[in-house]
Structure 1
Amino acid sequence: MSAAAPNPILAAGTVCWRRVVRSDGREQLMVLLIHRTKQRDVSFPKGKLDPGESMPQAAVRETHEETGLTVRLGANLGTIHYRMPGNGEKTVQYWAAEVTEQAVQASTFRPNKEVAALEWVPLSKARKRLSYPADREILDVFQRFADRDATETFSVILLRHAKAEPRSAMFPEDRTRPLADAGEDQAENLIAMLDSFGPKRILSSNAERCMRTVAPLAHHLRKTVRVHEGLSQEAWDAGSTDELRSIVGKVVRKGKNTIICTHRPVLPDVARELALATGSLPGDYLQEAAALPPGGFSVFHFSRTHPGAGILGVEVYPVRH
C-alpha cells in the first residue's frame, strides 16, 4: 500500500505595482520583483501561511516581511501549483497590490539572508526577468488587467453576520438578537482577514447581530459603522428594495473599499444590485457568492476608473472559527 500524498504547502503572495512619472512626463506602470538570496532567483513576494492564518493575511504579512511595504489586497490573480523537492506540492495564491508613495517612503527594507534586492521594473520588461514559468503566468493575468485599464480597483465585501442567539421569548424583536459566544469569536477572527482588503467604509443592517459583527473591525480601523435600515431583514420581509438599491448605487459611485454586513435572505439582492449597478453579466456566481454561512463573506472587485466594465472577480470565504 502506497503512502498517502503529503498535504500541499500553502503560501500566498502579491504582485506589487505602482505608477511612476518618466522623464518625458508620461506615466509608466511598474511591478516589484524580489531577488532571493539563497535561491538566486527573481520572483514575487510570497511565503507560507502561519498556523491558523488565512491566505489574504499571509499575502499581506509576507509582502511586508520581504519588502518592508505595507499593502492591502486588490484583485485576485489566481493560484499556482508546483512540485517541491521530495515530491511535495506547493499552492500559492496571488493578489495585485497597489503600492502608494507613502508606503514606498515608509519601507524598512534592507538586504538580508532571504531577500538580496528589490527591483522595480516596467511591466513590459518584467516577464523576461522572472525565473519561473508559474510566476510568468500570474504576471500574464495582471497584464490582462492592465490592458483593460483595470489595475486600480476597489472591493465590496458582502458579509453575513456572525452566529447569533436563536429566536426566543427573550428577544421579542428579531433585530435585538445578539451574537452567540461563538459569533463573538467569529467577529474577532474576522478582523485580520477583512483588514487585508483595506476597507474604508463599513455599512451594516440596524440589527444588533450585524452591528456587533462589524464592531471589533470598526474599532480596529477607527471607523464609524454606517447603519442602514434598508439592509435589514425587516425591510426585505416588507418587500422594500428602494433604499437597498440606493445604498448599493452610492457604494459603486464612491468607488471605495466597502463592507456591507447584512442577513442571509438579503445577500442575494445585494449581489444582484451590485451586478446591475456595474453592468455585470448575470450568472450562478452571484448566487454562490451570496450563499454564505454565518460569519462568511464574499469579495467583489471592480475597476475604480471604469466600474461600468462589470465585476472583475469574486472571492468567497466561508466561516472561520
Structure 2
Amino acid sequence: MTRKPDVIAAGGVVLRTHHNKGQQVLLIHRESYDDWSLPKGKGLPDELLPETAIREIREETGVTACLDLRLPTQKYTVPKGLKATHYWRAHVVEQRPRKPDAEVQKVKWFSIEEALATLSYDIDRTVLTAAIELPATNVLLLVRHGKAMLRKDWTGPDQRRRLGGRGRKQAQHLMDLLDAFCIQSLVSSSATRCVQTLEPYAESRRLPIRHVDILTEEEGTEHPKRVARFMAELMAGLDRPTVVCGHRPVLPAMYEGLGMAPKPMVVAEAVALHLDATGTLIRSEVFKPKA
C-alpha cells in the first residue's frame, strides 16, 4: 500500500526564451538553507494543487505564470515525514520586482546548463530535465457542469435549467483552476447550466463562450457520433488552452471523440488533458470540485 504523504506542496519550472540568451529557467536562493531551488510551497486549505503552484511562484519570485504540462511528482523525507511536491512546467505572463525577505533572498534567471549545475538538489534537476525533454503541449480541460437546480423544482424548459446555490459556488471556485492554466478559449453546451459554469471566468477575463447545441443533453444523447466528431475536430484544431463544458449523459461520446475511455465525473469536476502538436495525450490529471 502506498504511503500517504505527510506534507504536500506544489511548484513550477518557470521558463522563458530570452532574445539573446535562449531558454532560461527561474531559480530561487534561500540563505536559511544555503540552496538554489525551484519555487514551491505548501498549499492553503481548499486550494487545488495548480492554484498552490501559481501562488507560490508569484510569492517567491514576483512572477505571474501560466501552467503548462504536469511534471513528475517528487517524494522525499523531511523532518515532518514524507513530503510530496507536485510540479508543472510554466511560462511567464508578467514579472514584477521582488524585494528579498526572510524566505527568499535572490531570484535569478539561469540558462538550462547553468541551472543544472547550480541547483542544490538532484530532485530539482530531475524535474527540470523532464520539463525540457517533454514535448510542447496544449491543455484541454473537460468539465462537467456545476450542480443544477433539481428538475422537480424547475418549471421551464430543461435546456434553461439554472445552477443552484452549490453550482454557483462551484463555478466561482472553477475560476482559479481555469486561471492557473490561462484558459483562452471557452466552449460549452448551449444549456444554461453549462454556460453558467463558465460565466464567472469568462466575465473576469472578458472572453466569449462558444455555445454548441450538439453538446446539449437533448441533442448529444440523440446524436452521440456527432458529439464525438465535434470533440475530435476540437482536439485536432487545438491551438490555445481550452475548456469545454458538458453533461453527464453526453460525456461518454465526448471522451470517445478524444480517443479515450469514458470516466465517471461528479458535478463541477475537471479533467486536464495535456496534448502535443499531433493530438497525442502526454498526461492527464483530475481535479475534484471544492464545493
TM-score normalised by structure 1 residue count: 0.83
TM-superposed CA distance for 1:128, in Å, is 2.5
Gaps of at least 5 residues in structure 2 are none
Shift, 1:244, TM fit: 5.4
Q: Deviations over 1:53-94 (max 9, x none)?
A: 111111101101111111011000021122112x42222110
Match of residue 101, structure 2, among 102, 108, 112: 112
Aligned counterparts of 2:268 and 2:216: Cα–Cα separation in 1: 16
SS in 1 for 2:66: coil
What is the CA distance between 1:254 and its match in structure 2? Answer: 4.4
What is the identity percentage for the equivalent residue pairs of Structure 1 and Structure 2?
32
1:274-297, Cα deviation, whole Å (9 max, x unpaired) = 34xxxxxx5xxx433xx2100101
Deviations 1:226-265 (A, max 9, x none): 1110111111221253365246524542411111011112
Find the aligned partners of 2:85 and 2:51 in 1 and give their Cα distance. 13
Given candidates 2, 20, 23, the residue that maps to 1:22 is: 20
- Match of residue 93 from structure 1: 86
Q: Tell me the distance in 2 between the aligned counterparts of 1:317 and 1:250.
A: 21
Instruction: Give matches, 1:139-150, under 5 Å.
Output: 139-145=128-134, 150=135
RMSD between superposed Cα atoms in Å: 2.2
Distance in 2, matches of 1:138 and 1:69, equals: 19
**Which of 4, 28, 36 lines up with 1:34 in the alignment?**
28
Q: Given the alignment of the two structures, is residue 72 of structure 1 paired with residue 66 of structure 2, yes or no?
A: yes
Residues 7-38 of structure 1: per-residue CA shift (max 9 Å, x gap): 62221100001112337xxxx32211111121
Residue aligning to 2:126: 137
Paired AA for residue 297 in structure 1? A
**CA-to-aligned-CA distance 1:183-231 (integer Å, 9 cap, x gap):** 1111111111221111101111011111111111212222121111011
Give the AA of the match of 2:20.
R
Task: Check if 1:219 corresponds to 2:203.
Answer: yes
**How far 1:160 moved relative to its partner?**
0.1
The aligned amino acid for 1:90 is: K
Aligned match of 1:83: 77
Task: Give the SS at the match of 1:242.
Answer: helix
What displacement does 1:44 show? 0.3
Give 1:1-321 correspondences, 5 Å limit. Answer: 8-22=6-20, 28-85=22-79, 87-100=80-93, 103=94, 106-145=95-134, 150-151=135-136, 153-168=137-152, 170-171=154-155, 173-239=157-223, 241-242=225-226, 245-246=229-230, 248-250=232-234, 252-275=236-259, 286-288=261-263, 291-303=264-276, 307-308=277-278, 310-321=280-291
TM-score w.r.t. the length of structure 2 is 0.91
Q: Distance in 2 between matches of 1:123 and 1:7?
A: 30
Alpha-carbon deviation of 1:46?
Answer: 0.6
Q: Distance in 2 between matches of 1:186 and 1:56?
A: 16
Structure 1 Cα separation of the partners of residues 8 and 23 of structure 2 = 29
| Distance in 2 separating the partners of 1:59 and 1:263 | 29
Alpha-carbon distance change, 268 to 129 in structure 1, aligned in 2, over 3 angstroms: farther
Runs of 5+ unmatched residues, structure 1:
276-281
Q: Is the 8 A contact 2:231 2:257 kept in 1?
A: no
Output one character per residue of 1:128-179: Cα deviation in whole Å (capped at 9) or x when no partner: 221112212212321321xxxx23x321100000111222273453222221
